[in-house]
Amino acid sequence: MQTFPLFLDVRDRRALVVGGGEMAARKAELLLAAGARISLVAETVNGEIAQLIADARLSWAGCAFEEGELDGVAVVIVASEDESLQARVSAAAQARGLPVNVVDRPALSSFIMPAIVDRAPITIAISTGGAAPALARRIRAEIERTLPAALGRLARFAEIFREQVRRTLVVPRARRRFWDRVFEGRVGELALAGDEIAARRELIKLLDGVRSETPSQGMVHLVGAGPGDPDLLTLKAHRLLQRADVVVYDRLVSAEVLAMARRDAERVYVGKRRAHHCVPQHEINDRLVSLARAGKSVVRLKGGDPFVFGRGGEELEALTAAGIAVEVVPGVTAALGCASSAGIPLTHRDHAQACVFVTGHLKDGSVDLDWEMLARPRQTVVIYMGANALAAIASNLTAHGLPGSTPVALIENGTTENERRVVGTLSSIERMAQRAHFSGPTLCMVGEVVGLALGRDQEFRFESRIGL
């Protein structure tokens, strides 16, 4: 986060606007809408700003800027094209610790004016940190089309009952679930439609029903987080993350995906890596059971897909045996995500009529796989967690018939901005991996499709996602 988002209360407080043109008028109108009392500093005025003065909506002395104009001011906006004036006002305001914005000059500003979606009392602000204001305006337009014009009416309706709901439902989690039911159900529909009497009646009925409900046992959702790119998260996964009381996650879940969870959700890290289990699997199972029995909605967030080398099957068994309601939400597994990101087709009519997923180490840490099956021609072999066993993988595959020239790709941190790739052959890939010094989660792909996608006119190559 480049800047800290903050909403400033300027009701009945003095705001200073420097400038007398169209841009000054735009900023003055925003401040007036927020209830500010505006003093204007400009030697000349024109257009809409002159009309605001004529309508007595702001005060104008018709003079140049003097530092005394900053006395008693809560916020300063400079909407003048005079660069020397911009610098002088900015320096004077910041010397006093006053928030100041110089239009289109982020280097002179202590805060950025966002693009605004106004559904009073709901206000949505979009900022690019001053980098691309036009993009912020485009995002605002997209949000404007999505949100009902009457959304503010729903917020004002909820405010009427806020204190009553707080007294009735003392547990914050119960209150949140109640309001979810209000906003997503018939009460919300009636309030948005303007039928406040019917909405009040339905809300009171719902509140009475919730008050008499027996606390229920929670539920666990085994959710696939995908390979790392947050845009590959499913819509259902995103919705569950927004509703979860607790998110239990491992090291393969990217920070960007984890950020999709509700801000106040509890986060429990149970990360594991090869030969270093932070939390044993049986303890993870027990933790999920206890959280659900405490009545919490739990998202067990797992990298890739829960049922593809994610031990989701073990957790499903433990939860079912304990009588806990559980739902599995599939995710984009690493093989699909990494292959797409690298442009490698896992199957191809002329080169690979089968695709096999295997793990690079078994439960006991060995790599005792069905090498004869894996070395068959005209198929793609995707090896999860195989970076530390490349020597054994390459030697066994060649010993069982695959040529040393068979193309191999290693993809680290696939689909993310930190993605790196090493492309070589069975005979060269171990050497290439050592030179690359991979430390993140790495997927290994073996087969003719690797050469088809990335070129066979070289023995190997190294690529970074950035700059490709």
| Least confident interval from 94-98, 211-215, 372-376 | 211-215
Higher pLDDT, 2 or 8: 8
Residue 64: is its pLDDT beyond 70? Answer: yes
27 included as an active-site residue: no
For 356, the token pair is: 């096999």
Among 27, 250, 296, 305, the one annotated catalytic: 250
pLDDT computed for residue 458 by the predictor? 42
**Three-state DSSP class for residue 323:** coil
The two tokens of residue 326 are: 């559980």
Residue 460: the pLDDT is: 44
The pLDDT value recorded for residue 314 is: 95
pLDDT, mean of residues 23-46 = 94
**325: pLDDT strictly greater than 60:** yes
pLDDT value at 463 more than 90: no
Look at residue 229 in the predicted model and tell me its pLDDT.
95
Write the DSSP string, 108-149: G-SS-PPEEEEETTEEEEE--TTS-HHHHHHHHHHHHHHS-T
User: According to the model, what pLDDT value does residue 311 have?
Assistant: 92
63: number of Cβ within 10 Å: 10
List the structure tokens of 230. 């947050």
Q: Supply the pLDDT for residue 174.
A: 86
The pLDDT assigned to 455 comes to 52
The mean predicted confidence, pLDDT, of the chain is: 90
Is a pLDDT exceeding 70 seen at residue 453? Answer: no
pLDDT for 456 beyond 50: no
Q: Is the preceding omega at residue 121 within 30 degrees of 0, hence cis?
A: yes
pTM of the prediction?
A: 0.74
Whether pLDDT at 467 is above 60: no
Bridge partner list, 9: none
Does 272 participate in catalysis according to the annotation?
A: yes
370, 371, 377, 334: which is closest to 352 by C-alpha? Answer: 377
Q: Which domains does the chain have, with CATH numbers?
A: 14-113 (3.40.50.720), 151-211 (1.10.8), 219-332 (3.40.1010.10), 335-464 (3.30.950.10)
Q: What span, in angstroms and rounded, lies between the C-alpha atoms of 333 and 18?
A: 55
Q: Residue 360's pLDDT is what?
A: 81
DSSP characters over 137-190? HHHHHHHHHHS-TTHHHHHHHHHHHHHHHHHH--SHHHHHHHHHHHHHSHHHHH
Residues in CB range of 436: below 8 A, 6 or more apart: 410, 412, 420, 422, 462
pLDDT given at position 63: 85
Q: Is residue 131 pLDDT above 90, yes or no?
A: no
How confident is the model over 203-255, as pLDDT tens digits?
999 999 888 776 678 899 999 999 999 999 999 999 999 999 999 999 899 99
